[in-house]
Structure 1
Amino acid sequence: MRKTVTIMLTLVMLASVLANISLVELQNEKMNDESSARSGPEAALVDVINPRETYEDPMSPGTYTHEILAGVDSNFVVTIQNTGDANITEMNIEVTVYLSGGSGNIAKDALGNNMQWTDSAICDDLMSCGVDNLPYGEYLNGGSYTVKDSSGADIVWTPPVGAYDVVVELDTTQDSIQSNNALSTFVMVVDWYDIDIDMVWDSNNDDHITGGGTHPFTMTVSLNGSTNWDARNVSISLLSTGSGLTSATGNSGADDLLAGATTMAGVLNSTALVWQNMSENVDINSSAFQTTGPRYELNWGDTYTYSGAVETDSGVTNGVYDIVATLNSYKIFAQKPDCAADETIIVDNGPDGQPGGGDDIEEIVTIYHMCDDGESVSDGNNANNEAELFGSIQNFHDIAVVDMTVLQGYGTGGVGAPSVLAQDGASLGVGFSRILVEVTHKGSTLTETYDWTVNIEITDTFGGGVVASYDVDECIEGLPAGMMPYNHMDLGDDGGAGGANLIGLACAQHDFGAGTTGGGQYDITATVSMVDPPSSGDMVSRNDDTTGSFMVFNNRPVASAAVESDGDIIVGDTITLMASGFDADDPDGQSLSYNWTRTTSNGSMDDMVFCDDQGMMCAIPVMDNWVGTLPVSVVVTDGYGLESEPASANVHVYNMIEATSTSASGAVMNYSLTYDSTQLFEVTITDASPIVEELLPDQGDIPYDSVVSLDYSNSLGTLGATASVLTQSMDLTFEGASDGTYSMWYGVSNQWEMIGNTLSTVDSTHVMLSADMSSRTNILGPGTIAVFEASGDQPTVPEAGVGSISAVSQAGGSVVISWTADGVMVEGDSFEVCIDSCPNPIVLDRTVTTYTMAGATHGQSYSVTVKVVNSAGANGVFGSATIVADTQVDPNTEAEGLTFTASGDDIVVAWTAGDASDVVAWKVCWDATTFDANNMALGTMTCDVTTDATTSFTIAKSSAPGDHNIHVAVGGVDSVGNEESNNAMNSYSYTIEGSTGDGTGTVGDTVEDGGVPGWAWGAIIGIVVLAFVVGAFILSRGNEGDDGKEWDY
Structure 2
Amino acid sequence: MCGKIPEPVLEENGMRKLAPVLLSLLMMTAVFASIGWQELEEKAEFENTSGRTGPDVEVVEITHPRQSTEADAFSDARNIVDAGEELYFEAWIQNSGTESITQLGVEVSVFERKVNGQVGTFVNSWSHPDVICPDPFVCAQNELLPGALLDFGAFVMSVQGSMVTWTPPVGDYYVYVEATSSDANGDSNDADEDNNVQRNRVIVADWTDLSVDLEWTSGKDVEGGQDPVDFTMTITSQGSIPWDARNVIVHLTADGLMDSAAFWSDENDGTADHHNNASHREETVNPLSLGQPYNFSEIGTYGEVLIFQNASDPQDNQSDNRWNLRTGVPWVLNGTVTPDQQATAGDYTLTATIIEFTEYGRISPECDSENNADLGDGAGNETGTTTNWCEVSRIKDDNSESQTSTITGTVENRHDISVDRLVMNTGYMIDESTGEWSPAENVGLTSGPVSPGWMTIEAMVMHRGNNPAAYDAVNDEYPQEYDWNVTFTITNRSDNSVEEIHANSCEYGELYGEYGPYATLGGMGALDARACIQYEMWPGLYDVTATANLIGKYSGFDATSFNDAMTIQSISALNNRPVVTATLGNSGTIYAGADDVASIIELSASASDVEDEDTTLKISWDLPGEMFDEDCIDLTDCVISPMLNSDWIGKGRTATVTVEDSYGLKVSDIVTFDVWHKMTAYAETASGVNMSYDIEYADDTPFGVTLTDSTDTFTGKALGGDFSGTYDSVAVLDYAPSTLYSAGDLLNSQMTLRYDTTSLDPTSVWFVNPNGNWALIADTDDISVVGTEGTITLPASGEDILGNGQIALMGGEIIRAGIPDLHPMTMTLNPQSGGKIGMQWSYMLPAGTTPLGTEYYHLVVCEGADDCAENDRVLDTTGAPDTANNQDTYTLTGTSTTHGSMYYATVSICSQDGCHETVAKNSATADKEVDGHPTATNMVVNANAGMTAWDVTWETDGDTSDVKMWRVCYSDSSWTNAGDMPSTCVDAADGETSVSAPMSDVIGKKKFYFTAVPVDALGNYDTAVSLYDVNYERTSDGTVNTGDTISDQTAAEGDVPTWAWGAIIGIVAVAFVVGAFILSRGGDGDEGKDWDY
Q: TM-score, normalised by structure 2?
A: 0.41
Q: Larger RCO: Structure 1 or Structure 2 (Cα < 8 Å, ≥ 6 residues apart)?
A: 2
Q: TM-score, normalised by structure 1?
A: 0.42
The structure with the largest alpha-carbon Rg is 2
